[in-house]
Structures are given as structure tokens and as C-alpha cells.
Structure 1
Amino acid sequence: MIQNDVLMTIPNATGCYLYYNKDNQIIYVGKAKNIFKRVSSYFKGVHNYKTTKLVREIEKIDYIVVANENEALLLEENLIKKYKPRYNILLADDKKYPYVVIEKKDGDFYYRYIRNYNKLYYRSYGPFPDGSKAREIFYLLERVYPLKRCKLKNQKNPCTYYQLGLCSGACFKEVDEGFYTYNINKADNFFKGNNDDFKIQLTKKMQIAANNLNFEEANYYKSIINSLPGITTKQSVQILDIEKNYDFVTCYSDDKYISIIVLFYQFGVLIYKESFVTELNLESNKDVIFNYLGQLYKRNKKPDLLFVDNDLNISDNKIAGIEVGHTDTKELQQIMNLGRENAIEGINHRYQQEMYTSGKDVLEELKSIAQLKKIPYHIEVFDIANIGDNFVTGGIVVFKNGQPSFSDFRRYNIDIPERDDISRMVYIVKRRYQDLRFIKNAIPDLIIVDGGVGQVNGALKVLKELNLEIDVIGLVKDDKHKTDHIYHPVLKNITLKKDSQLYKKLAMFQDKVHNFSISHYRKRQINSIKSDPLENIKGIGKKTIQKLRESYPNNDSLKNVNIDKLNEIVKNQKLSEKIIKYINK
């Protein structure tokens, strides 16, 4: 365990810190504006399981001081790549996207297909999702809106490209700058989604090829014309300022993964979506996003503005050296919503991949071991969150094909006279299925309740009343609040091997429903603390309370107020009397 005297040797400086275990292996690398404050925070207060486990393994601390946060980011990235510490998230690889650019050289203009992006190019289009599409666009632009193609200069005769109509002819003559301006503007319009002229030019080339009996080339142009909508298409969501490049970043995380989405907009058109999903570790969502974007834009084109999801609560004016914009219009929010949906889908897809590798076998094993009627491709898991009798919350998480179906998750506020968990479980099971039973394909193959014999029998009683036949099992926890065994209404207690895939899957189910329901319970608890006591008065609205608080910020200031003075604000004699009565009481 690290002693305080070791911590006191760490400087208040910007840089990176390295944690070593007893075998002198680097197990974690981090960066910080103030290394001392960041490192000290690991050894103070209460942390989550992973952080606590890390701290217990730390035997030595080292650090490297640098000049600024940008250098710290770069150093952290290099150290993680070099040592691959097991507690670090391995972020983006050295991905360099393909671009189509226009280069100006010696007064002439050329199309180039590149991956090593440089902001000095005259024009740049991209990034593109893969090389094949970018190359196809590159070849098409050379054919339809030609610039200079060959490297020749001051020739007596034109090059072959010029004779085929694929070059400006700068190899043997002076080219009017208007020729380049015209074709570059046409290329701009193509990427803005205005491809009508592009289609006309391709059609002409197709007809010429057909007239020359070059049917293979004619067929090539025909296939390109038919695929134009897939190459560049106007989006349903447009950004008004089409002269700037905007990127949008958002993320979604659950208790296992974080999914980051970056949407690249060029000329007001969505040209590419970058998706990154990784397992959560020690870093906060903000740290993961900052590290990821720092690596992403170090090797690729930076936008004019970077829009960040408001839900991430990031107040920085710049990220990776890019100015951060504000999604303060309906159109920008619409785009951010699109990114958020894709982030959720990214995690869904990861769980789907897990299901394909091990999920189906696990579901078949569950069917066998619990003697279910069929393989439980649709599972619904129930949990109750409460401390005492206040803000009792019921949570339901749904798994389809072994992966979470987030849109089907539900929470219920439980306000019933009965104060026991079995009655509360009965309540939410009944609420869940009393209407759902009439909807086709809505009933699950298996219900899993958090609890044992009481909760399972309670759920079965409700299902019998609703005339539903659904298998029900319970997951029982040990005294450390960890999944211990299955309770089955007929087989009773079913013990599982803790290292089995089935145990891990069921434990994940139980953890997810618990986290889902407890988060809503805590939110209700916090909101109750934040709420104004005056809200307990029947008939008073939030606007009236807000007006009152401008003159009387707390209840003590209201105690001796004159009713006529109070009524000047409330403008309701009976309500004013209620307020005075409530305050004095």
C-alpha cells in the first residue's frame, strides 16, 4: 500500500503518472493537469470496484512532467501503446481515413487520393468510410470534372489524358484559370449533394461510349449513374451554413461498455459516421472522449466546429484544439439525437456479437438446467429498489437474443399500502403484463425476478390470474449481495459454477436490472431533496413558488409576512391563507 510520504513527493505539475504492481509491471497510465491532485484522489474516499482493485495492486508510482496538457495527451497515448497496461482502455488505433483532395502546384490543380491528411491542400473532401468508395469518387471526378492529370510540362503535343478529355492540357498549353474554377465548383456541388449535373455528364459519356460500340465502358457509366444516390445524397437533416465542416460527438454507456459516435458533416451533408465501442475501465466518460478525439484528430481533418452532446456536461471551449459549438437549434439537436441513437445501437451490436459467440449456447444451457419450455430468447428481469418505504422503485430490463433491448426497459414508482418486497414484486409484474398480454409477440419466454421463493411464487400467482403461461425463476444473492444461485419453483435451488458463462450472463442480468432501478430510486431521492417545501401545498404552482422565492428565499423569511403583502404576489386570497397556515404550522 502506498504511504502518504510517497504521495508528498509527487509534484503539482502537468504530466503523466504510472502505477506499478508488485512484479514491477505498469498496470495503469494516466495524465493530469496536476499530477499530485489526481494521484492523491485515488487514495481518498470511496471508489467503484475496479478503482479499488487497482489501488490495492499499486506498489510503486512514477511520473513524467511535461510542458502542457497536449504533450501529456500525446505521452499518455504513447505509453499506453508501448506498455498496454491492463487497467487502461485501448482507444483508437492509428486510423487514417481516406480523402479526395485538390492540390495546387505551379499554378495547376490536381486531384489526389490520400490518407495522410494535410490542411494545406486547396480542397479536401472526406473522410470516407473505406478506401474503395473514396477511390471510386476520385476516379469519377477525374473523368467528369478534369483538372491536370499528367506531370508533363511545356510539351509540343498533348498527353493521352487530354486527348481522352481527362486532363486540362496544361502539359502543352496555358490553361485559363476559369477552367479550373468551373470544375472545382462543380466538384464542390457534387459533395453538397447536387449531383444532377454530374449525372448529365456521365450520361453523355455513356452515350458516346455506346455510339463508339464500347459497350463495356458504357455499362460502367450506367452502373455509376444508378449508384449515384448511394455515393452522395442530400440528407434529411441539413445544416444551414454549408460553407463549414461540422463534426458531432456523443456517447452512451452502460455498466460494461462505452460507445462513442462521431458524425462528420461536410457542406451540410453527413458524409461519414465513426463508431467506437470499448469496455469501461477506470476513466470517466469525459476522459475517454477527450483521449479518443485527441487521437482521432491528430491524424485526420479537423472540423471548423465540434458539437458535443449537452448530456455529457462538457464545459470546455476547445477539445483537441477544436472550438466547441453549442447545439442550440432544433436542426442541430436533431443531428445530436441521431448520434445518440447510433451510440445506443453500438452497444446493442456489441452485445449481439457476444450473443453470437457465446450467447446462444448460454441460453440453451439455461433452458436445459432450468427445464424451461423453450430457449429463452426473450427474457425480462425484475428488481425492486428501496431503502425503507420511501421512493420505492421497480425496474424491468429486457434481453432479446441475449442482448439488452433498451427501448423496452421500464421503471415503475411503487406506492402501495403493502410494505414488503413480495407485494411490490407482485405489483410490478401485474402492471407489466395486464396490458402487454394483448399485444402480439410482447410476452417473454422467461421472467427472472430478483429474489427467491416468495418473489417467484408471487409472480406465478399474477401470471395465473392473467391467464399467462411464462416460465419464472429467481436469482438469489449471497450475504455480499452477489448472485449466488437460481431458485426454481419445482427444482428449488440450482447451484451454478461461478466461472461458467451461464453464471456470468445471469449475474450480468441481475446487475443490470439492479443498476437500472437503483439509479431511478436515487434520482427520485435527490429530486425530493431539491424540491421546494411549498410544493406540499395543494393548489400552488411552480411559477407562483418562483415569484415568491424572489422576495422570500426561504421559509423563515415567510413566517411573519403580512397576508395582504403576500397576496400581492400570489393574487389568490385562499391560497395566501394556506401558505401562511402551512409556514406557521
Structure 2
Amino acid sequence: MNEQNENLQTSTKPLSPREVLHQTALKAPNQSGVYMWRNEGGTIIYVGKAKNLKNRLTSYFSGNKDIKTRLLISRARSIEYITTGNEYEAFLLENNLIKQHNPRYNICLKDGKSYPVLKITKEKFPRLYKTRNVVKDGSLYFGPFPDAAALDTFIETLYDIYPLRHCRKFREKDSACLYYHMGKCLGPCCKKTDSSTYGEFIGEITSLLEGKEDTAKKMEDQMRQAARELDFEKAARLRDGLKALSIMQNQNIVEGFDQDDRDYIATWREGELVSFTILKIRGGKLLGRDNYRTLSLNEDTELIPEFMGAYYTEKEIIPPSIYVVSKEGTEFMKRWIKETYDCETEIIPVDDTEKMRMHRAAVNMAQQNAREDIIRRVRERGDFPAMEELKKELGLSKLPVRIEGFDIAHIGGKFPVASLISFYNGNPDKKNYRYFRLKTTDGLIDDFASMKEAVSRRYTRLLNENAELPDLLLIDGGIGQVNAVDSILQTLGLDIPIAGLAKRDEEIWRPHTSQPICLPKRSDALRLLQRVRDETHRFATSRNQELRTKENTVSPFAKLPGVGAKRDGMLMKKYGTLACLANATETDIAETLGIKADAASDILIAAKNLYIEQMEKQNRQKASLGIPGTTKEKAARFQMNHNLAAAALLEIASPEEDPKDS
């Protein structure tokens, strides 16, 4: 019997780590509780709560998941869970476990949470600086200050006003430092001043920072007294000090709020990376903004409650009102704050009513700050998760470190422009942006031909210069545009991966395929492609607008003989277009401008010639592109494509090409 069991075990294929996790999820009970994901070393990497453990855990293995979920599953080796009597008990247990184990993919704000303070050292000649470490060494501490940047500015202002020492350690010397010679220090190290004079400055700064109700009035009285005594330097110091303190205390005031204290909390995420922003309103003024970056694999609806559990660790920092985006989890948080800190606070989700207008604006401001913080973070680290997912989903041979994107912009066929933008490590590389003033489609609407011209000109040049080629080429369009570009690259003998992003359903098209690739809306790869596409569109549109503005400021009548600014205005008012002027008579022109018939004849002849020249140019362009219709036109169209590919190989360029073109 044992022998049969052994044979059965050896013949059964072992389960993969993912399958083992899935089996554990299927066996979970249908009740509330907390679950913990452990890695290969047994370390807890994520803690979550669920109203129904089985439903929540099995959801990790169903459907197409975003990269943060796939990352969690790939690094986990086991799942444990603890059942609870209700969802609120699960919330309490989750909060305790997160603080106990500090999992990598949960929100933890223990580090870097303290606000900075201003320290005045206890020395014979004190110095002042910003610190987050409060030590009982006899020094004076002022704060904390929620806005660290404002404190930095205030300290710089104090050093501009008061010539205090800058050196970290005080040592007596024979010669003074550069700060003394610049008038930025009194030179106590060289005995250039005494402690009483130096102490007067410290006393003024201390009075400023104490911020008592009568401090400002006393300082103003001292300022006026110093002015009466003709001690203008002291009066100026006091004036500038009061101004600097006022700026620090009152910057970023949000008008229209009452005097209650409140917090506004919002978040933004990119994959596993999450940023939280808190706007702190105290006494009706926005005193500061806190930003926290962290990693979390929690659901979007549970991010704010999880963050609040990690952030509000002291009763003193909990305001009477907290405004958030959604009501998800707010009842639990309100109850938890009451039971934990014996503190009454309202957690209020904002809505679109007029009553909430100001509060909604503040939450939107916080959300925008969180988004900007994420953008900075992605720029700093490179968008590697998105590039890795893009490589996998598109079947690329290597990571798309360099992505180039094309887009076409025109107005009714006029001023056609192709934009080329470049992304490196998932971020814009603006020094490699280019634009192309298109020549073969000026006056015509043919995006396929426009894209072909831009691509052929770009990559012919890179071939001739033996320059680095991109890892991925993104086209703003569907399968038609993608195949058109692929034909040019094939002609050039280039093997650059191509993808097209169609705007309607955000479908990704690869060359010569019948079905698009559809990624989840929260996919990091799709987000990166959207960023590239949107940037190409912005760049192309801005250049097209520049050309239109330039063209609109130059009147076609100004090119005619004997027509200056005044006559140009008269012709524009009378005829409006060159075509209307070319169809006018000498008598009409002479009467309009008040000139002789000979001069009017010269203007009319020049107008007709210029109009004929423009029409011939448009006809040549139409013939070169071959508008579908007759057999002759189709042959001309075929010849145009052949010539375009040949031009790409030979890099035929006009001597009048825009120097910014590539």
C-alpha cells in the first residue's frame, strides 16, 4: 500500500507556487477576517482584510490582473488567514498586524513622520538651524512647522537679516571667514564682536519665534523707537523679521473657510507606488502640506482608511473634521478613532453639491499634489514596471528603454506637421524631440502618406548617421497607420517593433494582425503608451498652431508690388482672399486703393500670377499622391510610394528644409 502511494506521488506533477496559493484561496472560509501573504523566507509581505475571505482571496487569481497583483503573487509562497466575528474586528486586527510586522507592501509611516523644528543652540554665540531631532540639551526649540520648505525660506531670511555665525562648530581663529568679509557674520570666532551684541540679535529672533499675542506689537514699537533714534539698521532688521515671520505663518491661505481645524486627505497611485497628500487647515489657514510615498497592494477604496490608521498615531494631531474623496471605510475609521483615542471627529466624503464646493476644491488640490509627487517619483526611478509589462505584453525581444512616438497635426490639410517625441526609461527625453514640416501632403488630408514621409525622413537620417535606433515605435492610430509605417521600415531594412494605439477603445495594434491587444485600464504598460501618445499629440498640435499663427500674421497681399501696410488693410477689407482679388477688375482695384490704372494693372497681374502659382502647387501635390479614381491616378499613386521609399534610401532632402526638421 505504501509502495502504491509512493508511485502515485511520484507520478503526480508537483504544483507551481501560484497553484499552491490558489488552492489555499479556494479553501478559505466565507467569513470576515485578515489574510497574510508570506514570501519564500516566511516574512509577511502583505496584510489585508476582507468581509469574505474566500471571495477576496480567489479574486487575486481570476481574470487579467494588473502588475501590482501579479507582483504580489510572484513573490508570495504561502497565505495565512485569521477569521474574525465581523468586518470591524478584521479592520482592528489588520491595523495591529501592519504595525507589528511592517509588511513591505502595506502603508507604514513610522519613518520621516515628524515635523521639523527650528533650533537655537545653547552656546555663547548660538547658531540656528532646522532639525527633526529634539534633544534635551538646553537649546531652544520652536515649532513644529508643517511646511519644511517654508521653514527653510524663513531661516535663509533670518540669516540675510541677522549676521549670525554659519559654522557648525565654534572655534576661535586668527583670521575671519568669507561670511565676515561679506557682512553675513559678526566674526565672533575672531573676537570681532562681544556676546552682548550677538545676544541682542538672538533675543530679537527669539521674540519673533515665540509668537505671543503682544510680540508683534512690541517688535513694531521697538522698530519705531529705533527709527526715532536714527538706528535705521535695527529698524530695518525688525521690519524684515516681522515680514518674514508673517510670510511663513500665513502662506498658502485658502480663502473662504471658517476658523475650524480640519485635514484634507487625497491619494494617487501608479501600480504599487502610492502617494498621499494631507492639507492641514488650522484656524482657517492652510499651514502646510504633507506628502507621503509608500508601497501598497491594497484596493483603491481601502487606501485612505489604511493610511489614516498609520498616520493618526496621537490624539493631539487629530482635527475635529477630516475630508476625504470617498465614504469607503469612513465609519470604521470614525469608530476606531473614538475607541482608540477617545476623540470625536467627523470623517466627511466630499460631493458635488454647492455646500461642498470649497471642500471639494481643497481635496482636489490635495489629489493634484499627490499626482505631482508620483510623477516626480516615477521620473526619479524610471518607469521600469511599465516597461517590463510592455515587453511581456507586446512580445518584445528587449526592454523598451527608448520609445519614439509619431503623430500628425493639420487643419483641413493646411500646415501639416509630424511630431516625433522620445521617452527614455519611461520618461520624456525632450532633447530628442523633433518636428517635421511635411511637404508631400501640404494642402491634402492623407494621414497615411504623412506618416510615411515623417518615418522615412527620420530613420533614413538615423541610418546614414549610424545613430541609435529606438526599442519601440508608437503610432497614434490603428492597424492602417501601423501597416503603412511598417512598409517604410521594411523598405529601409529596419526591424524596429511597431505598435499603434487607437484612441476610441485604447486598443494596441501590431503590424499585420487581425485582433488588437487590450490591456486593463489600470495597466502600467497602457499608462506608459498613453503618456507617449498624449505627448506626441501635444507636441504636434503646438507646432501646427505656431505655423498657423505665423501664416495668419503674413497677408498674401503684402507680396504684391506697391502694396504696403495701409493698402494691405484696404485690400483685405475689400476682397479678403487672393482668389477674389485675382477675379477683380483694374477699375475696382484703382477705386479701392485710390491709385492710377497702371498701378492697379500691375497689382492685378501679380495677384493672378501668385494665385495660379498656388493652384499649380496644390495640383502637383494631388498628382504626386494620386487621389484614387482613374487608372492613371492609381499608377501615379503607386509611383509616389515608390519614389517615397527611394527618397528614404537615398535621403533626398530639399536645401530649404527647416533646420529643426530631422
Give the TM-score normalised by structure 1: 0.45
> Greater share of helix residues, 1 or 2?
2
Give the TM-score normalised by structure 2: 0.41
Structure with larger Rg: 2
